Amino acid sequence: MSENHTAPNNEPIPICDYEGSDYQTRFWQNQGREYEDLVERTAIRHLLPAHGKRLLEIGAGFGRLADMYQGYEQIVLLDYSKSLLRQAQERLGNDPKYTYIAANIYQLPLDNSQADAVCMIRVIHHLVDVPQALAQIHRILCADGIFLLEFANKLNWKAILRYAAHRQTWSPFDLAPVEFVPLNFDFHPRWMRTQLAQHGFEIQRTRTLSHLRIPLLKRLIPARILAALDGICQPSGQWWQLTPSVITRSRRKDTAAHYPPEQLVFQCPSCKNTRWRATTTEMHCLACHTRWSIDDGIYDFKTPLPDRH
């Protein structure tokens, strides 16, 4: 499920597109992943500031984690899949604290310094161009804004054992990301730390997740007990990372506006303008005159509306 989009350097970037997929029911609902859901919630609870002005979740999907953000005045749920956002909208209702945006992470349709917190969970493993994505996230964060990033760890103990037994061709010790199937990447923790530092982030804390993601244990031990044990182990991520999943809390460390504006300010993906004429059904850019749809409460910045003739 992918399309090609054009980056600022005019090179096509493949995009993993969940549009029209049954991701919610196929992957999460009654699929034996309560443990994975609980350990991610434990990490978010320990790492994310409890309160703030505006939080952006990138790759929000059907809104699985939206209840974790209730201490924020405004919650922006962004995903490339409009159909998943529709599911989120159906789950969460029309509460004005939520804003739903369908958009490409490489061209976030938001002005600079719009959020004081950004969460990106189970997303970066689908990204071909991590540096460009991090640059966009850095741009829309306020000064000292917090960025929670979860990534798939290639240096996990299962991968090390498979490699030692010659059951895996790629080395978990090689720093470069590995694409083990199309548009699915695992990352070395040291490589990810370098990328975050190069893009203006200072890592404050690291937690490791899914220490006990073993099918036999998941069958024998209730998910809540298993997740509680995992929560005890998670702080060890400050010293070593050998689990399938790692989550970091980083701070934007250079100068920018210290607080988000009262109202969310959009940026045109086509020309970077921030001046709009808005109706209930579309956003009209006053600089390049590109029009973007507002589809029953979802801002659609994936594909512009056709020109009027």
Residue 46: predicted pLDDT: 98
Tell me the pLDDT band of 28, cut-offs 50, 70 and 90.
confident
Tell me the pLDDT band of 5, cut-offs 50, 70 and 90.
low
Cα(202)–Cα(214) distance, integer angstroms: 32
Per residue in 242-291, pLDDT tens? Answer: 999 999 999 998 777 678 999 999 999 999 999 999 999 999 999 999 99
Higher pLDDT, 52 or 27: 52
Per residue in 81-130, pLDDT tens? Answer: 999 999 999 999 889 999 999 999 999 999 999 999 999 999 999 999 99
Query: Which domains does the chain show, CATH number per domain?
Result: 2-265 (3.40.50.150)
32 Rama sector, left if φ>0, alpha if ψ -120 to 50, beta otherwise: left
Mean pLDDT for 154-172 is 97
Tell me the pLDDT band of 192, cut-offs 50, 70 and 90.
very high
Per residue in 234-245, pLDDT tens? Answer: 999 999 999 999
Whether pLDDT at 1 is above 50 = no
Query: First-to-last CA distance in the chain?
Result: 33
Residue 8: predicted pLDDT: 52
Among candidates 87, 106, 143, 150, which has minimal Cα distance to 8?
106
Tokens of 150: 């979860």
Distances (CA, A) of 75 to 38, 101, 151, 286: 21, 11, 22, 26
Other Cβ atoms within 10 Å of 282 Cβ, number: 17
Whether pLDDT at 304 is above 90 = yes
Residue 6: predicted pLDDT: 55
Cα(3)–Cα(205) distance, integer angstroms: 35
Per residue in 30-40, pLDDT tens? Answer: 778 999 999 99
Mean pLDDT of the chain: 94
Tell me the pLDDT band of 308, cut-offs 50, 70 and 90.
confident
